[in-house]
Amino acid sequence: MATSPSQFQSRVVDNRSLRGGYVVLTMQGPTDPAPLADTVPGQFVMLRGDWGRDLVNPRAFSVLEASADGRFSVMLKAYGRGTTALCEASEGAPITVTGPLGRGTFDTPSADGPTQLLVAGGVGLPPLHLQARRAVEAGLADRVELLYGGRDENDLVLLSDFEQWGVTMHLATEDGSVGEAGFVTVPLARRLELAASRKESVHVLSCGPTPMLKAVRTLALSREVPTSLCLEEEMACGFGVCLGCAVPVYGERSYEYCCTDGPVFDAQRVRWS
């Protein structure tokens, strides 16, 4: 179903700083057709500015939002050279985009389907933010809940969107400044308890730093809850040719590819300790 990728030029039309150093970068790409219009949650783009020869490959970013008018945005934070350059990109800056990439296979929520627990951390929010947005657009705001963890208050962003959408939120911060004290697995554990006691059918959809994903996976699998993980692996190409983004899995092949087979994987199949 995913539209085949293309590479196109875009320009930064908005660089919005959120707290905690997070940035929402909005770009204007071509219109009719808008290459990213049909992007599904979990799909991503490879972005590259005028970086000269030092930074070689483009960088991968989940699509936060993409509209039919060719506008799209990503959410990021300065990490290394590439993300720093993008966080500093000013209006009008040219950005080369490849996308939409990945299959992005979160189940779409349905009225009689399981409750989707969206477990997010750090820059893992975007695909789950888009998943929630689509649910809301489909009038299914009650079928998704956000479980969101960070170091402190500043590490939790875009909360107002979820409030506005009427999506239930369970927050956790390591310093306890907002929500529960501890990792996001604290509210997740309780929520899974509750679901079990209620015989409520739930799915876990999670994206965030790998250590968090590992904890979420262990917890959810121990409760035998179906779990989808949106993974991040180092990528050179993003479209299945460098074979750099291998994800170790169980199955007929020992590795699948984050960019073409994912980035969303069934937690059970991921070959992690």
| Residues contributing to the site for ligand FAD (CB under 6 A) | 44, 57, 59-62, 74-77, 79-83, 123, 126, 232-235, 258, 263
Instruction: Tell me the backbone φ, ψ of residue 206, rounded to 5 degrees.
Output: -135, 145
Kindly list the distances between the CA atom of residue 232 and the CA atoms of 167, 173, 229, 239, 271, in Å, as whole numbers in the listed order: 26, 22, 10, 14, 14
Under the criterion CB under 8 A, does residue 271 sit at the interface with a copy of itself? no
Give me the residues paired with residue 169 across strands: 146
Binding piece for ligand FES, criterion CB under 6 A, among 17-25, 32-40, 214-222, 232-240? 232-240
Task: Identify the CA nearest to 121 among candidates 172, 178, 180, 195.
Answer: 172
Under the criterion CB under 8 A, does residue 9 sit at the interface with another protein? no
For ligand FES, the binding residue among 245, 247, 249, 267 (CB under 6 A) is 245
d(CA 109, CA 201): 12
d(CA 272, CA 8): 36
Instruction: Tell the burial category of 246 from Cβ atoms under 10 Å away from its Cβ (0-12, 13-18, 19+).
Output: middle
Binding piece for a copy of itself, criterion CB under 8 A, among 49-57, 103-111, 116-124, 156-164? 49-57
Kindly list the distances between the CA atom of residue 200 and the CA atoms of 74, 99, 122, in Å, as whole numbers in the listed order: 33, 37, 28
- Partner touching 257 among ligand FAD, a copy of itself, ligand FES, none, CB below 5 to 8 Å by kind: ligand FES
Q: Which CB atom, from 134 or from 223, has the smaller least distance to ligand FAD?
A: 134
Under the criterion CB under 6 A, does residue 56 sit at the interface with ligand FES? no
- Partner touching 259 among ligand FES, another protein, a copy of itself, none, CB below 5 to 8 Å by kind: ligand FES
For a copy of itself, the binding residue among 32, 54, 112, 252 (CB under 8 A) is 54
Q: Which CB atom, from 134 or from 151, has the smaller least distance to another protein?
A: 151
In the complex, minimum distance from the CB of residue 208 to ligand FAD, in angstroms, rounded to a whole number: 10
CB count in 10 Å sphere of residue 130: 22
Please, which of residues 88-147 interact with a copy of itself by CB under 8 A? none
Binding piece for another protein, criterion CB under 8 A, among 67-75, 156-164, 175-183, 239-247? 239-247
72 in helix, strand or coil? strand
Closest residue to ligand FAD, judged by C-beta, is 80
The interface mask with ligand FES, positions 76-105, x = CB under 6 A, is ------------------------------
Instruction: Tell me the backbone φ, ψ of residue 84, rounded to 5 degrees.
Output: -65, -45
Cα-Cα-Cα-Cα torsion 192, 193, 198, 201, nearest 10 degrees, comes to: 20
**Element at 221 (helix H, strand E):** helix 210-222
What residues line the site for another protein (CB under 8 A)?
4-7, 48, 53-58, 77, 79, 96, 98, 122-123, 209-211, 232-248, 250-255, 268-269, 271-273
